[in-house]
Structure 1
Amino acid sequence: MREFKYFLLSIFLVIALSSTAQTKEISLEEIWNGAFRTERLDVLHSMKNGQEYSVLNFDRVSKSTSIDVYDYKTLSKVKTLVSSLDIDAIPYFTDYTFSSDESKIILATNVESIFRRSTLGHFFVYDTEDASVTLIAEDRIQEPTFSPDATKVAFGLNNNLYVKDLVSGETKQITFDGEKNKIINGITDWVYEEEFGFVRAFEWNADSDRIAYIRFDETEVPEFSMDVYGQYGKDLYQTQQVFKYPKAGEKNAVVSLHLYDLEKEEASEVVLDKAYSDFYIPRIKWTNDADVLSAQYTNRHQNELDLWMINARKGKAEIVLAEKDAAYVDITDNLTFLKDNSFIWTSEKDGFNHIYHYDKKGKLINQITKGNWDVTNYYGFDEKTNRIYYQSVENGSINRDVYAIDVKGVKKTRLTSSTGTNNASFSADFTYFINTFSNASTPPEYTLNEAVSGKIVKRIKDNQSLAKSLEAYKLSEKEFSTIQVNGNDLNMWMIKPADFDYNKQYPLFMYQYSGPGSQQVSNSWNSANDYWHQHLAQQGYIVVCVDGRGTGFKGAAFKKVTQKELGKYEVEDQIDAAKLLGERPYIDASRIGIWGWSYGGFMSSNALLKGDDVFKMAIAVAPVTSWRFYDTIYTERYMTTPQENPSGYDENSPINHVDKLKGNYLLIHGSSDDNVHVQNTMLMVEALVQANKQFEWMIYPDKNHGIYGGNTRLHLYTKMTNYIKENL
């Protein structure tokens, strides 16, 4: 009888535990204190032998960093290349870069951000043979880069270029006209960094005797200034950050391409026989021939792209490839030169993004990939097997898989089998790849795979501890589907409350970004916003995201339909999707809200104003409120200039529709946003005031476009959560 009582007690305990399982709610504090952070592999580098890889490891106990080398096949640690514990001059380092022969390593420390990608820092050269450490410069510098023979390092300092000889220790300045807010040599200006996605605008040739660099003359570019308010008790007066920022239709920096000869110690400007009146140089890259530099030139509208081959020794240049598009031609980093200097190129010219092979004169050899799907990543070419490795959406536009194909376009092999998002990092000799896989229900998993077949060799790391901890939470499935809007099947996900009852009605909260070529409906693991959306679902909201026209990975026509009218078709799709969703019996059509950040804030503002009979409320974080306030490269790529297309700019900008405001509107911005200037919000506020419209707003002092630091994100999402509860 006593044993039976214990048996009943154990049954009751199991029932009690199972009934409390999945009842815990996600708190905002947990989201922003890192409770749901995933494990990852940091600064992964494949060693040149193809059999080993290195990663950056941080020891929390000793607060030191190290570069550790692992064997691909066994995944066991082979050695520690360098540890900050062994270097008196460096308490820790945050990044590293190998020389081509891996005999030397640049270690980064005391690094501080300038803008989104650019940094300043102190950098040391570590010699793996004798363990010596050399400080490259006493000053904080930019973009230190080894010469291919590892005897020199070039870097940027105060808008000029320098070269340090690692043998003699001598440093030489090679440009002399650099000046803040006037001339920049070898480092990109603000708009190139932000929109063309690179900072280092100089390149070594294969023989380490020439450097090609882009020079920016931004003298005539208008300046933008931001007040920096500082800290209470420390700063009595605010300071100003002043930088060159070309807004749509305004003057850009005048760019020119130059070659510096290290033996002659002289620079020369590259002169082309084609007259470009207003142009960009978005990429430069030396070919395998040390005398031949490739350079990509595009017109201001960015609908014509020329690939030049420039012979530095002969002083001759020719266009080998010219692409034109009715809308724009995307700039990528996919240009790859083979041993014979034929090259791999990606293009949307057949309507989808695919891989092409050209000879060194620009004659098409063949189109390697074909189909009504986009190549989403190009990994490289294996010279031993003549295989191209790439990622695509062949298995559905919300998924990603890794593929191999012969350079002739035959023998295509799918190398990944799990449905979701797969991304590969290949060994230097293409023997292996580390695959990162996740989907909406599986946190990131890292596996070692054979490149020839995709077969999993070993599992490296997963996030099962996170998955296990999440079992205690009341989470909802992210349901993927499509919704037919304006003649298109748009990708959609929906998160319902875990205790969803089809017979009840729920408020609907929509999330989107919607910018050209973007994607938010992706079969991948949670971001911080996903956890926040789960938090809202736990509060009784249905959360939905719809990727409308203009978003990516469904072909060029779908993406480029918004050309010259940003904010027209995308907004129509969000409004009409909301109307269709509002017809569903479980959604309360009188309680529909929408939110977004940056382009998404532009969209949520427009949706509330133009869809004033549909949306009850909207939140806009760091929104563009008029495209006249945004930069040249991004805006004109899709809109041409305001002088050419005034109606496209004005008819779809929220600042011109404030009189339509009926619902509840929360406007949020960081005062030090160098990207989408707080000017957008300030002038939107003034327009709303003059239209006598009531709204709420919040400015985060000295915060940039990301609005983070300390408790900032927690405060921001608490404010938004409370606003939703009060107004939806």
Structure 2
Amino acid sequence: MKKLKFSLFLTLIFSITLSAQTKKISLEEIWNGTFRTERMDVLHSMNNGKQYTVLNVNPYEKTTSVDIYDYETAEKIGTIVNSGDLEALPYFTDYKFSKDESELILAIDEESIYRRSTLGHYFVYDLKTKSLSPIAEEKIQEPTFSPDGTKVAYGYENNIYIKDLTNNETTQVTFDGEKNKIINGITDWVYEEEFAFVRAFDWNASSDKLAFIRFDETDVPQYSMDIYGDYLYPKQEVFKYPKAGENNSVVSLHVYNLKTNNTTDVKLNKSYSDFYIPRMKWTNDPNILSAQYLNRHQNDLDLWLINTADNTVKIALNETDKAYIDVTDNLTFLSDNSFIWTSEKDGYNHIYHYAASGKLIDQVTKGKWEVTDFYGVDEASKTVYYQSVENGSINRDVYSIHLNGRNEKRLTQDTGTNSASFSADYTYFINSFSNVSTPTRYTLNSGKTGEVIRTIIDNHELSEKLAEYNIVQKEFSTIHINGNDLNTWMIKPADFDPSKTYPLLMFQYSGPGSQQVSNRWNASNDYWYMKLAAEGYIIACVDGRGTGLKGAAFKKVTQLQLGKYEVEDQISAAKYFGELPYIDASRIGIWGWSYGGFMSSGALFKGNDVFKMAIAVAPVTSWRFYDSIYTERYMTTPQENPDGYDDNSPLNFADKLKGKFLLVHGSADDNVHLENTMRLTEALIQANKPFDMAIYPDKNHGIYGGNTRLHLYEKMTNFIHENL
């Protein structure tokens, strides 16, 4: 009798354990944060190179704090500031140190404008006096300390202001700012989106000059969107948006002198008719400003050095490309004003060292692989630190190399995605590592050897939680398609049986220089794919021609004809998968978002004998509708390349639709406008083609907020179940 009871007990435990290990992923869990990884937010290395700070949130006390940690011990050694100690500031969402780390700018009530821009209330916190003072009563943009910490420059209502922290006086620098006409010191919509920066002003080293870019949007066509809210009548949001071939903002460069209270226009000895200023930055010399001028085709770039003391100018570097030049933030001036530059000019993205005159000193890195991030130069040891895909294009590692290009050293050893944040003196770096089987892990590493000193965060709680689920990992491989070896991943059901056949859902993005096949930990969509796999689907992703990190030629082959080779590769890949014994070739679907939506639409229409269904979320349906900077970089203008714009537009292939099609868009998408989906809808109606559609009111390109993401993914999941 006792034996029987013990046996029943063991059976019960085994049953519970088995059940726990086969817990199913739900859509609610994916979008409520159940699988969120622990991170180090707003990591900052202190000037002494021995300590670092992070932003911590106390959910129980509902406070935020900037806490300081010791690199060697990883122990918390103090708190810089805690919102619980500040009556006027119950919480804050971001912080920035002054150069000498005696003051902080704290942010509160931040609200998004577009993808990167925000408005907020900002305060200066003095670490010595523990005092807190507002920078402005109004919501402002991009408050930035001067290097000496005595002033803060910021943007407000399209003008630039400077607050003197010693006497609390505020000076208005520009006066002509006006909505949808003139912007000073803050980028316009298209610069923010495509050149990826918002703050278009910069302090010089001696804190007595402020350079800024002025945008004249007067002749830029404007776009309007209805915002429905809960109003009786919708209101309109109107903003300037230059579509391909249309007028851009007229940009100009200016320097404000705080000593004379005068603003001067930067004048060059070369004329530009239609151009961009995608970057400007002061050198270490307080009188010399650098600025990059780029032609509208984005294949001819000049790096100017502008002496603001004697008004002399010179081109330090010129770079041209048959296709286009990627603008980066890697330009770094060393103490002698020689500089680091990254370029694809030898066919792969690499690091170069130039003299202050612009003469090439050394190509620092070389090889048939790409540098993917530049971390800085330790001038004491003349060591350059960077990230690259030398260990395989789906992986990333951290490396060091001598400034002369010798003594390269791989500093990270675990294969996957490694990313470093170095201490100010390069003694240490905090490495963020993950791969397909390892949640993000933060470790303290030696800057010299790369040796792991200790683990800071390992996300073991997430690992323990996931042990309850029947998690399946991506399988990486390459497939030979259209003359190229393409990176792929595949997710199969946990109980995969090669003697059975399964429907296949393909995901891709495919935009120029992008990468979806990457050896890193799961994003939210990956959990969705695991859920679908548990329901009997195989999911696959292929990075076709035009994607990144395999050299310039592979990336730029799509030039002038976006959507041609990329769609061909997805159709060919689907045919390849369909020939596998365990794939049901009659049940292959494809989906994507944004550029991926453009692709999934084109693939379904052009590959109507291959794909059974497709989902297109926020798709571009004609590049004529998209913005100038992005589109013309790859296509030139519609006036110059009309066939390139039309030959691969889904609008012109709507009559070929045979399978099931779901179109999704947010009505307040300021990036890929709802117009794209409306025009494709009309084309499908006129071709008398049935399709499904979902419009999310007042949602932008990300389609999120409240219950929105859950609703969207429930809709897509049901559509897949019903049609694949």
**Shorter-normalised TM range:** over 0.9
How far apart, in 2, do the equivalents of 1:258 and 1:558 lie?
A: 39
Aligned-residue offset at 1:14: 4.7
Matching residue within 278, 281, 300 for 1:282: 278
Corresponding residue of 1:88: 87
Q: What TM-score do the two structures reach when normalised by structure 1?
A: 0.99
Say whether 1:365 aligns with 2:361.
Answer: yes
Say whether 1:340 aligns with 2:330.
Answer: no
Superposed CA offset, 1:357-407 (max 9, x none): 000011000000000000000000011211000000011000000000000
Say whether 1:375 aligns with 2:371.
Answer: yes
Corresponding residue of 1:149: 148
How far apart, in 2, do the equivalents of 1:158 and 1:714 lie?
A: 36
SS of 1:657's equivalent in the other structure is helix
Aligned-residue offset at 1:132: 1.0
Corresponding residue of 2:593: 597
Corresponding residue of 2:407: 411
Amino acid at match of 2:30: I
Aligned-residue offset at 1:87: 1.3
Superposed CA offset, 1:289-344 (max 9, x none): 00000000000000011100000001011001000000001000000111100000
Say whether 1:75 aligns with 2:71.
Answer: no
Corresponding residue of 2:492: 496
Matching residue within 652, 664, 671 for 1:668: 664
Corresponding residue of 1:158: 157
Corresponding residue of 1:133: 132
SS of 1:35's equivalent in the other structure is coil
* Equivalence map 1:156-235=2 (5 Å): 156-231=155-230, 235=231
SS of 2:21's equivalent in the other structure is coil
Matching residue within 511, 515, 522 for 1:515: 511
How far apart, in 1, do the equivalents of 2:470 and 2:597 lie?
A: 29
Corresponding residue of 1:657: 653
Matching residue within 229, 243, 251 for 1:247: 243
Aligned-residue offset at 1:477: 2.2
Aligned-residue offset at 1:20: 2.5
Say whether 1:50 aligns with 2:49.
Answer: yes
Matching residue within 416, 420, 445 for 2:416: 420
Corresponding residue of 1:402: 398
Superposed CA offset, 1:203-246 (max 9, x none): 00000000000000000000000000012xxx211101000000
Aligned-residue offset at 1:145: 0.4
Amino acid at match of 1:704: N
Aligned-residue offset at 1:465: 1.2
Runs of 4+ in 1 over 4 A off after TM superposition: 4-7
How far apart, in 2, do the equivalents of 1:320 and 1:86 lie?
A: 51
Aligned-residue offset at 1:13: 4.0
How far apart, in 1, do the equivalents of 2:150 and 2:496 lie?
A: 65
Q: Single out whichever of 148-157 and 55-64 deviates more from structure 2.
A: 55-64
Corresponding residue of 2:694: 698
How far apart, in 2, do the equivalents of 1:278 and 1:73 lie?
A: 53
Amino acid at match of 2:165: L
Corresponding residue of 2:308: 312
SS of 1:346's equivalent in the other structure is strand
How far apart, in 1, do the equivalents of 2:28 and 2:151 lie?
A: 48
How far apart, in 1, do the equivalents of 2:497 and 2:595 lie?
A: 34
How far apart, in 1, do the equivalents of 2:60 and 2:148 lie?
A: 37
Say whether 1:641 aligns with 2:640.
Answer: no
Say whether 1:259 aligns with 2:255.
Answer: yes
Aligned-residue offset at 1:5: 4.4
How far apart, in 1, do the equivalents of 2:283 and 2:647 lie?
A: 46
Corresponding residue of 1:566: 562
Amino acid at match of 1:484: H
Matching residue within 450, 467, 471 for 2:467: 471
Aligned-residue offset at 1:6: 5.6
How far apart, in 1, do the equivalents of 2:345 and 2:150 lie?
A: 42
SS of 2:530's equivalent in the other structure is helix
SS of 1:692's equivalent in the other structure is coil
How far apart, in 1, do the equivalents of 2:500 and 2:58 lie?
A: 51
SS of 1:289's equivalent in the other structure is coil
Corresponding residue of 1:31: 30
SS of 1:713's equivalent in the other structure is helix
Amino acid at match of 1:506: Y
Aligned-residue offset at 1:18: 4.5
SS of 1:514's equivalent in the other structure is coil
How far apart, in 2, do the equivalents of 1:13 and 1:395 lie?
A: 47
How far apart, in 1, do the equivalents of 2:167 and 2:131 lie?
A: 14
Aligned-residue offset at 1:724: 0.4
Q: What is the alpha-carbon root mean square deviation over aligned residues? A: 0.9
Corresponding residue of 2:103: 104
How far apart, in 2, do the equivalents of 1:157 and 1:584 lie?
A: 59
Corresponding residue of 1:608: 604
Superposed CA offset, 1:168-187 (max 9, x none): 11000010100000000000
Superposed CA offset, 1:54-76 (max 9, x none): 01111111111111100011111
How far apart, in 1, do the equivalents of 2:4 and 2:71 lie?
A: 55
Corresponding residue of 2:438: 442
Aligned-residue offset at 1:9: 4.1
* Equivalence map 1:521-600=2 (5 Å): 521-600=517-596
Q: Single out whichever of 199-208 and 469-478 deviates more from structure 2.
A: 469-478
How far apart, in 1, do the equivalents of 2:466 and 2:334 lie?
A: 47
Corresponding residue of 2:448: 452
Superposed CA offset, 1:121-174 (max 9, x none): 110000011011111001100000000000000000010000000001100001
Superposed CA offset, 1:249-305 (max 9, x none): 000000000010000101011010111100000000000000000000000000011
Superposed CA offset, 1:498-551 (max 9, x none): 111111111010000000000000000000110001111011010000000000
Give identity over the alignment, percent: 69
How far apart, in 2, do the equivalents of 1:131 and 1:6 lie?
A: 67
Say whether 1:273 aligns with 2:269.
Answer: yes
Amino acid at match of 2:697: P
| Consecutive unaligned residues in structure 2, runs of 5 or more | none
Provide the aligned length of Structure 1 versus Structure 2: 724
